[in-house]
Amino acid sequence: MANNKTNKSESKKVEDLKASQKDFNDTTMTTNQGLKVNDTNNSLKSGERGSTLLEDFLLREKITSFDHERIPERIVHARGSAAHGYFELYDSIAQYTKAGIFNDVSRKTPVFVRFSTVAGSKGSPDLARDVRGFAVKFYTEEGTWDLVGNNMPIFFIQDAMKFPDLIHSVKPEPNKEIPQAASAHDTFYDFVSHATETLHNHIWVMSDRAIPRSFRMMEGFGIHTFRFINDKNESHFVRFHWKPKLGVHSLTWDEAVKINGADSDFHRRDLWDAIEAGQFPEWELGVQIIPQEDEFKFEFDLLDPTKLIPEEMVPVQIIGKMTLNKNPENFFAETEQVAFLPGHVVPGIDFTNDPLLQGRLFSYRDTQLSRLGGPNFHQIPINRPIVPTHNNQRDGMMQTEIPTGQTAYFPNSLTGGCPHLAKMAEGGFHSYEERIDAKKVRGRSESFNDHFSQPALFYRSLAKWEQEHVADAYTFELGKCNQKHIKERMLWLIAEIDTDLANKVAEGLGLAIPETIEQPVNQAIGADEEVSKHQPPKKKNYLDAAPTLSQANTKFDSIATRQVAVLVANGFSMKNFKKMSDALEKEGAMVKLIAPHGGTITCDENMEHPVDAAIMTTESVLFDSVYIPGGKAAVDKLMKEAKFVKFINETLKHCKAIAADAEGEDLIDKTFVKDFKKDKAVLINQEPSKFIDAMKQHRNWDRSDLVKEIPA
C-alpha cells in the first residue's frame, strides 16, 4: 500500500507540473511591445563576425530590462572586496601600443581593484563554487582605463544577447528563491545542456579554479581579445593576463563547505588582513600579442570569448607588476560605488568585434545608471579620473560639480570654441579603421561552433588530482538536479569532452551515458536558422596538453601569508616553538596559537602568550598547516580535547603539512596521522626548513587517494 501511495503522489506531482506549464504551451516569444521574436540568441551585426549595431533594439530591450532588475545591489558580482594600489611597467612596448601606461617606465599608475563572486547576492558566502571577478581601474594620465575581467580566461557565452539567460538560469530559481550562490540546480543545467557554448567555461568552474585559496592566489584575465594600436596606427590583437606572485592555489570543496560555516568572509578577511600586515598582494601583468595578419591562423576564432589562446601557442609576455597596498577607508563609498566599464579605454587600446565584448560596452554603462542614480556617477570620488575633465555635459541627477560659463555646446564662438577637440597627435582617441563590408544580419559565425575541443584540452592538461576534483564536482552538482533528462543530457555532453570523465560522473550518479539525446545539442540559434549549421563538430586535438592550465605547475616558492595553526596548552615547549615560529615568520607565514581556551597561555618557561583562537571557536580549514611544539603537560591537556584530534585529522585529510616536536608525537599517535609518518608532508622532530618546504608545495596531493576513508 505504501508503494502505491508513493506512486500516486509522484503522479500527482507530474500532473501539477504539467498544469502549471499549461499557460506557457504553444506561446510565441515577443518583445515588451508584442513584436514576435525569431532570434533571442544573437545580436545584430555587420556580418557574422562583424561589430554589433547600435540599432539592435531587441538587444537593448533585453539587456536594459536585465540591467534594471535590481537596485541598488549589482545583479551580478554583488559580493565584492577591493583594495587600492599601483601599477609599474617593466619595459616599454611602444612597438605595439601608444598607450602611455605601456610606454613610460617612470610612471606609477594608481589602481583600484575589485574582486567578487558572480552568482550570489551581496550577503552570500565567499567560498561559493563560482567564477571570480577581477576588475582593475587604472587612473592613467590619459584618462581612466578599466580592465574588467575574471579569474578564468574564457566566458560562458559567445554573444551578449545570451547573458540575461545565463544569469537567470544560475540565479536562485524564481518560484522558490533557492539555491543562493550555487549552480547545482535544474535551471542552470537545463540551460548549460542546451547552450553548449557554455561547456568550456563550465568545466573551469568544475575545477579547483572556482574555489581559490585567496584572491591573492588566483589569476586574472581580460577574457576578450582587444587591440593594441601603436603610433603608426598599426593593429595587434592582445589578451591580458594577471599572474599572482604567490602562485595559483585553491581549496577543496570539502574545505569550502566548512569555511562557509566557520568564516563566510574568508576571502574578504584574508585580503584585508594581508594588506594590514604589510604583506602586499602582487600580480605581474602579461600580454599575448598576435599580429593582425595572424587573425585566422588558429583552429579557433580569436574573437570567440569562450576560447583561450594556449600559452604554449602564444607565450605570455610579462610587462609590469601591480601591487595592492591600501585597504578602502569606507566600504560603501569605494568598494560598493566603484563603477567599472569595459568601454573605458585610453588611446592605444581598442575593441574588436567579439560579440560579448560589444554587448558589454552597452550593458555596463546602463547598469551603472540604474545602480548609481544617473549619468554623473563618474563624479563619485572613487570613479573620478586623475586628469581634469572638460565637456558640455550638464545637470542630471546627483550633479555635484558647478560648471561655469555661458556655453554648453559645440561648436561655439562665445567661449572661444572651448572645450576644443584634441588631435590624434595631442592624444585624442581614434578608433582603429577596420574595413567593414558585410550584410546586416542577426547570426553567429560558424567559426564559433567548436564547443568541445578546448574543454577537452583543459581536462587533458590537468594533474590526476585535479581531474578527480572535476569529476567530483560534476557528480555533486548534477546530483543536486532533480530532472533525470537534464542529468542524462549533461552526461552525453561530458562524454563528448572526455569519456573517462563521463564514466566517473555517470557512476557517481548511478546513471548510464545515453547513446543519443532527444533534443538538438546546440540551441544558440534563431528560429529560422538551420539547426545543422550550428551543431558543434567533434572535438579536435590541436594540442596534446597545455601544462600552464594546471595548478600543479604554478609557483611553489613562498609561504608568505600562509596561516599556521600552532596547537598549545599550558606548559608547551618554548624552545621548540621559538625555533619553529622564528623560521616561519622569517618566511612571511602567520603563526597563530590555538589553545583549549581564550585569553593567555603559559609556556614551560613561565612566559605568557596571547591566544589567537580557542579551539571551540575555530576550524582546521581556516589554516594552511599545523604544528605541535610539544611539552608533556601541554600535550596531555590537548589529548583530552577531542576537537584537537579532529583538527589534526582534517588537516591530514585535506593533504596539508603537519609537523610535531618531542611529546607532540604522542598527540599525533592519537590521530590517523600515525599511519602517515612516512608522508613527505608529515614532519616529526624535523628541522623547520623541512616543514617550510612542505608548506611551499601547498598540498601533498599524493596523499589524496589514501585519505579518502578518513572521517572528517
Active-site annotation, residues: 77, 150
Look up residue 333 and give its DSSP letter. Answer: I
The span from the CA of 392 to the CA of 635, in Å, is: 74
Q: Parallel, antiparallel, or unpaired: how do β-strands 220-221 and 235-244 relate?
A: antiparallel
Extract long-range pairs of 59-65: CB within 8 Å, 24+ residues apart. 59/160, 59/161, 59/359, 59/362, 60/362, 61/31, 61/32, 62/161, 62/164, 63/160, 63/161, 63/163, 63/164, 63/359, 63/362, 63/363, 63/366, 64/366, 65/32, 65/164
Q: Is the separation of the CB atoms in 602 and 571 below 8 Å?
A: yes
Helix, strand or coil, per DSSP, at residue 569: coil
Q: DSSP secondary structure string, 277-331?
A: TT---EEEEEEEEEEGGGTT-SSS-TT-TT----TTTSPPEEEEEEEEEE--S-I
What residues have CB less than 8 Å from 145, skipping those under 6 apart?
99, 101, 137, 138, 344, 345, 346, 349
Residue type present at position 421: L
Query: What is the grid cell recorded at 85?
Result: 594600489
Among 150, 158, 157, 154, which Cα is nearest to 131's? Answer: 150
What residues have CB less than 8 Å from 642, skipping those under 6 apart?
none
Q: Is the four-CA dihedral 444, 449, 451, 456 of positive or negative sign?
A: negative
- 518-529 in b/e form (b: 16+ CB < 10 A) is eeebbebbbeeb
Other beta carbons within 10 angstroms of residue 543's beta carbon come to: 15
The span from the CA of 81 to the CA of 105, in Å, is: 29
Other beta carbons within 10 angstroms of residue 440's beta carbon come to: 12
The span from the CA of 394 to the CA of 403, in Å, is: 8
What residues have CB less than 8 Å from 227, skipping those under 6 apart?
235, 236, 237, 238, 349, 350, 351, 352, 432
Cα 244 to its chain centre, rounded Å, is 14
Q: Could you tell me the maximum CA-CA distance found in the chain, to the nearest angstrom?
A: 93
Q: Is the four-CA dihedral 283, 212, 227, 96 of positive or negative sign?
A: positive
Look up residue 184 and give its DSSP letter. Answer: -
C-alpha separations of 629 from 229, 580, 617, 653 in Å: 59, 8, 21, 21
Query: What is the grid cell recorded at 442?
Result: 542577426
Among 166, 226, 173, which Cα is nearest to 199's? Answer: 166
